[in-house]
Amino acid sequence: MSARVTLATAGRVLRQLRRDRRTIALVLVVPPVLLALFKYVFDGQPRTFDRIGPTLVGIFPFVTMFLVTSIAMLRERTTGTLERLMSMPLAKLDLLLGYGLAFALVAAVQAGVTAAVGFGALGLDTAGPVWLVLVLAVGNALLGMSLGLFLSAFARTEFQAVQFMPAFVLPQIFLAGLLVPRERMAHALEVLSAFLPLTYAYDALAKATSDELGARLAFDAAVVGGCIVLALVLGATTLRRQTP
Q: Decide whether 184 or 242 has the Cβ nearer to another protein.
A: 242
Q: Give residues in contact with another protein (CB under 8 A).
A: 4-5, 8-9, 11-12, 15-16, 19-20, 79-81, 83-90, 241-244
Instruction: Please report how close the Cβ of residue 81 comes to another protein at its closest, in angstroms.
Output: 5
Is residue 143 within 8 A of residue 231, CB to CB? The reply is yes
Q: Decide whether 8 or 236 has the Cβ nearer to another protein.
A: 8
Instruction: Please report how close the Cβ of residue 144 comes to another protein at its closest, in angstroms.
Output: 21
Is residue 1 within 8 A of residue 93, CB to CB? The reply is yes
Chain centroid, CA 109 distance in Å: 13
Q: Decide whether 84 or 213 has the Cβ nearer to another protein.
A: 84
Chain centroid, CA 39 distance in Å: 22
Instruction: Please report how close the Cβ of residue 2 comes to another protein at its closest, in angstroms.
Output: 8
Instruction: Please report how close the Cβ of residue 96 comes to another protein at its closest, in angstroms.
Output: 14
Instruction: Please report how close the Cβ of residue 141 comes to another protein at its closest, in angstroms.
Output: 21
Q: Residue 20, SS3?
A: coil
Q: What are phi and psi of 33, to 5 degrees?
A: -65, -45
Cα distances (Å, whole numbers) of residue 200 to 113, 172, 217: 24, 10, 9
Q: Decide whether 87 or 215 has the Cβ nearer to another protein.
A: 87
Q: Decide whether 14 or 105 has the Cβ nearer to another protein.
A: 14
Is residue 150 within 8 A of residue 234, CB to CB? The reply is yes
